[in-house]
Amino acid sequence: MTREQKFMAEAITLSQNGIRNNDGGPFGCVIVKGEEIIGRGNNRVTSTNDPTAHAEVVAIRDACKNIDSFQLEDCEIYTSCEPCPMCLGAIYWANPKVIYYANTRTDAANIGFSDAMIYDEINKTLTDRIIPIKAIMRDEALEVFKEWQNKEDKIVY
């Protein structure tokens, strides 16, 4: 078994344990730095009533807490399924060096976890999306952006 297979096996085990414990859907994820797993997560959407509690997001939160950082530079993500759009966004914000996945988005869709609607929505204009998106109070919100821009002690990320 290769190093990568060993870490992916752990992600798959987390996905299996999660469904056996009724935590949520069949998804698991580990985050590795060097040779150490620094973050673990399995889907916990239904057990926590949190639609963002996907395995990757749970693992990112765990890893960042464990290394006391909001960045996962030099880390690897092993996820039992190709990341959904939300998780992919979270992964990109965390800035790891590589993502490994096992099941594909098609495999997930075949068991009832389809992200096709979200992928379709991303490519639409704001006015053509299923859920209306309406801009209000931009001038007031821009004042906060200006304050951030001028803040001397901000932590840039």
* Residue 36 designated active-site: no
Catalytic residue among 4, 10, 36, 56: 56
What DSSP string describes 25-76? SS-EEEEEETTEEEEEEE--HHHHT-TT--HHHHHHHHHHHHHT-S--TTEE
End-to-end alpha carbon distance in the chain: 37
Q: Residues with catalytic annotation? A: 56
